[in-house]
Amino acid sequence: MTEGEMLLKGYGVTTAEFFYRMPDYKHVLNTYVWQDYDLAPDHPKLFDFIEYWQREIEGPLHSVRYTHRKLLAPGEWRHITGEFTLH
């Protein structure tokens, strides 16, 4: 799917900030920022990435903070059939 098709099908940008513990220093927290197009409210790509992290990455997750923004809402897109130019 192209980016435009994804936006028209309801996808939006999900940004997540992962707080995780360093593998060798469990008392130290570090952050990682992840961003992708995803569908709210289920967020399948975000949860797939969390499962991947828990399965493959050594640093255990402490917490995840995320936000989601639809870039194209139903009232923002209109089909235009003509254009008038002045001057």
For range 25-50, the mean pLDDT = 94
CB 30 within 8 A of CB 20: yes
Domain residue extents for the chain: 3-76
Helix (H, G, I), strand (E, B) or coil at 26: coil
Confidence of residue 13 (pLDDT cuts 50, 70, 90): very high
Q: Maximum Cα–Cα distance for the chain, whole Å?
A: 68
Helix (H, G, I), strand (E, B) or coil at 39: coil
Confidence of residue 21 (pLDDT cuts 50, 70, 90): very high
57 or 6, which is more confident? 57
Mean pLDDT of the chain: 87
